[in-house]
Structure 1
């Protein structure tokens, strides 16, 4: 079994890293210096944020059912 590191907070680390994505979408839309790409970046960031909430609830419910926040134990 391939494990880089057995973190006890692996699920929370995964959630926090995946929530950085909308920042990159906003920056890429802003840097292009075009109003339509900026609006597209805002739309993509809003979709990413609205997708993260149900995904986080699902992952945390599985974590609660398994009584562990480690990705190896789940």
Structure 2
């Protein structure tokens, strides 16, 4: 998972070498497409989706627990 930050750092450094501007051939959309392809190849997309799903489950669980506690304290 450390490949993506390395790629971003390389691209920033390339921009600095060119006087703070990115070459015409390396426009933002091209950089984004390249990064997306590299993420897909590395399996990072699947890992991020898994983390996202786990976070959603955690939030649902916590919400349910809080509702149960608030209902039981209300009834007492």
Q: Which category describes the TM-score, using the shorter chain as reference length?
A: 0.3 to 0.5
Q: Could you tell me the TM-score, scaled by structure 2's length?
A: 0.35
| Greater RCO (CA < 8 Å, at least 6 residues apart) | 1
Higher helix proportion? 2
User: Higher Cα Rg: structure 1 or 2?
Assistant: 2
